Amino acid sequence: MTRVALIAHDDEKPEIIDLAQSYEDALSGFDLVGTGTTSKRIMEETDLTVERKESGPLGGDAQIGAEVAEDRIDGIVFLRDPLTAQPHEPDISALLRICDVHDVPLATTRTSAEFLLEGLIRDETDG
């Protein structure tokens, strides 16, 4: 089953929730994992089940990075705030590096997230 990670900086949480609502039917067929608060908010506002890792400041992004290294993640949506991210929010640098090393797509904007999800949906239906 396709496994997708969902992460969002605080200011981007409404956007990732809207994305999850827009793609809820397709995402319901995926195995979802996410950082603590993002996962909680998505589950509260959709019928999706998301495996909750620690919140970003407590290492949830590192836990997801470990899954990338173990070849357990097919794609990551990390909606980040490039201008006003707070010090307690997850840093994308290490996650981006591990994704590049293991050739796992990582989307950082709504538009790139839609392309990533559409590609995974297509792969799921073609496979």
Kindly report the CATH number assigned to the domain that includes residue 12: 3.40.50.1380
**Residue 92: pLDDT band with limits 50, 70, 90:** confident
61 is known as an active-site residue: yes
**Domain tally, the chain:** 1
Distance CA 8, CA 30 (A): 18
- Residue numbers belonging to the annotated binding site: 9, 13, 35-38, 55-56, 88
**Amino acid at residue number 114:** E
- Residue numbers belonging to the annotated binding site for substrate: 9, 13, 35-38, 55-56, 88
C-alpha 113 chain-centroid distance: 9
Q: Over range 16-27, report the average pLDDT.
A: 98
Domain assignment of residue 99, given as a range: 3-126
Catalytic residue of the set 11, 61, 74, 103: 61
What does pTM read for this prediction?
A: 0.94
Q: What is the pLDDT of residues 70-89, one digit of tens each?
A: 999 999 999 998 877 666 66
